[in-house]
Structure 1
Amino acid sequence: MSYLEITGLTVAFPRSPAPVLRDIDLHVARGEFVSVIGHSGCGKSTMLNVVAGLLKPSQGGAVLEGKEVNGPGPDRAVVFQNHSLLPWLTCAENIRLAVDQTLSKTMSRAERAAWVMENLALVRMTAAADKRPNEISGGMKQRIGIARALAMKPKVLLMDEPFGALDALTRAHLQDQVMQIHAALGMTTMMITHDVDEAVLLSDRIVMLTNGPNAQIGEILPVTLARPRDRLALAEHPDFVHARRAVLEFLHARHANPALKAA
Structure 2
Amino acid sequence: MARQVPYLLIEGVEKTFTRGSTSNNVLHNVSIAIEQGEYVSIIGHSGCGKSTLLNLIAGLTPVTSGGILLENKEVNSPGPDRAVVFQNHSLLPWLTVYDNVRMAVDKVFSGRKSKAERHDWTMHVLDLVHMGHAKDRRPGEISGGMKQRVGIARALSMEPKIMLLDEPFGALDALTRAHLQDSIMQIHAALKNTMIMITHDVDEAVLLSDRIIMMTNGPSATIGEVLDVTLPRPRKRLELVSNPTYIKAREAVLKFLYERHKFVEAA
Report if TM-score (shorter chain) is over 0.5. yes
Structure 1's unaligned 5+ residue stretches are: none
In structure 2, what is the equivalent of residue 40 of structure 1?
Answer: 46
Task: Please give the alpha-carbon distance, in whole angstroms, between the structure 1 residues aligned to 2:109 and 2:35.
Answer: 25
Task: Please give the alpha-carbon distance, in whole angstroms, between the structure 2 residues aligned to 1:224 and 1:118.
Answer: 31
Per-residue displacement from partner, 1:66-100 (whole Å, max 9, x unpaired)?
11001000100000000000000000000000011
In structure 1, what is the equivalent of residue 139 of structure 2?
Answer: 133
Q: CA deviation at 1:103?
A: 1.1
- Normalising by structure 1, what TM-score? 0.97
Q: CA deviation at 1:28?
A: 0.2
Per-residue displacement from partner, 1:191-227 (whole Å, max 9, x unpaired)?
0000000000000000000000010100000000000
Report the AA paired with residue 229 of structure 1: R
In structure 2, what is the equivalent of residue 165 of structure 1?
Answer: 171
Report the AA paired with residue 75 of structure 2: V
Contact 1:149 1:157 in 2 (8 A): yes
Please list every run of at least 4 consecutive aligned residues from structure 1 whose deviation after the TM superposition is greater than 4 angstroms. Answer: none
Q: CA deviation at 1:105?
A: 1.6
**RMSD over aligned Cα, in angstroms?**
1.0
Describe how 1:1-263 pairs up with structure 2 within 5 A: 1-15=5-19, 17-257=23-263
SS in structure 1 of the partner of residue 17 of structure 2? coil
Q: CA deviation at 1:258?
A: 5.5
SS in structure 2 of the partner of residue 13 of structure 1? strand
Task: Please give the alpha-carbon distance, in whole angstroms, between the structure 2 residues aligned to 1:71 and 1:146.
Answer: 21
Task: Please give the alpha-carbon distance, in whole angstroms, between the structure 2 residues aligned to 1:118 and 1:176.
Answer: 18
- Normalising by structure 2, what TM-score? 0.96
Contact 2:7 2:34 in 1 (8 A): yes
SS in structure 2 of the partner of residue 140 of structure 1? helix
Structure 2's unaligned 5+ residue stretches are: none
Q: How many residues align?
A: 260
Per-residue displacement from partner, 1:35-90 (whole Å, max 9, x unpaired)?
00000000000000000000111111211001100100010000000000000000
Task: Please give the alpha-carbon distance, in whole angstroms, between the structure 2 residues aligned to 1:32 and 1:166.
Answer: 25
SS in structure 1 of the partner of residue 196 of structure 2? strand
Contact 1:50 1:61 in 2 (8 A): no
Report the AA paired with residue 235 of structure 1: V
Contact 1:30 1:187 in 2 (8 A): yes
Q: CA deviation at 1:236?
A: 1.0
Task: Please give the alpha-carbon distance, in whole angstroms, between the structure 2 residues aligned to 1:61 and 1:128.
Answer: 42
